[in-house]
Amino acid sequence: MGVEIERKFLLRNDDWRKVAPKGIRMAQWYLNEHGNTIRVRIADDKAYLTIKSKSVGISRMEFEYEIPLADAKELMNLTQTPIVDKFRYKIPYQGHVWEVDEFLGLNAGLVVAEVEMKCEDEEVAIPDWIGVDVSDDRRYRNTYLAKCPYSTWTD
């Protein structure tokens, strides 16, 4: 069993693009959401099944397994929410890897960064291009974006 501890941020500007490697195109969808999350994701030519528990603060249990690409494509037929489509860029910075997600489709225009930590009170160096911490704002979770895309937000 793994535990995911992460903080999520909006970006202050596009300076992250100067240090970002080539992004990975990802499509993900959700099969169940009764407190827990069951996600299927295709990232380039690999597929993953991920199960996450309900969050407690910025922590939650996480189990992730690589699955056959053909199985992932079949599981796509079971989803009842739109697919979340995005590019992910992994940017190393002072001992951590920042994952910047640039959303596409109905979530186009939204760019967020996440950083995983070993414990909730771990000190993390924040790059200059990082903006507001939205870790506690559920609207920025991918599960929420699948049901309520960024393009439909009014505030």
Mean pLDDT, residues 134-153 taken together: 93
- 29-76 tens-digit pLDDT: 877 666 778 889 999 999 999 998 888 888 888 999 999 999 999 988
User: Left if phi > 0, otherwise alpha if psi is -120 to 50, otherwise beta: which for 44?
Assistant: left
According to the model, what pLDDT value does residue 103 have? Answer: 97
Contact 111, 134 (CB under 8 A): no
pLDDT higher for 27 or 30?
27
Alpha carbon separation from 32 to 71, 74, 79 (Å, rounded): 17, 16, 8
Task: Quote the percentage of the chain above a pLDDT of 70.
Answer: 97
149 Cβ contact list (under 8 Å, min separation 6): 82, 105, 106, 107
Residue 30 is a catalytic residue: yes
Nearest to 93 by CA among 27, 26, 9: 9
Mean pLDDT, residues 16-20 taken together: 96
- 113-134 tens-digit pLDDT: 999 999 999 999 999 999 999 9
Tell me the two tokens of residue 81.
């929410």
How distant is the alpha carbon of residue 154 from its chain centre? 22
Tell me the two tokens of residue 110.
């939204």
Instruction: Kindly tell me the sign of the dihedral angle through the C-alpha atoms of 99, 137, 2, 68.
Output: negative
Tell me the two tokens of residue 63.
């189990």
According to the model, what pLDDT value does residue 80 have? Answer: 78
- The active-site residue out of 30, 89, 93, 140 is 30
According to the model, what pLDDT value does residue 34 have? Answer: 67
Tell me what the pLDDT averaged over the chain comes to. 91
- 65-114 tens-digit pLDDT: 999 999 999 988 888 778 899 999 999 999 999 999 999 999 999 999 99
According to the model, what pLDDT value does residue 32 have? Answer: 66
pTM (two decimals): 0.83
Residue 109: helix, strand or coil by DSSP? Answer: coil
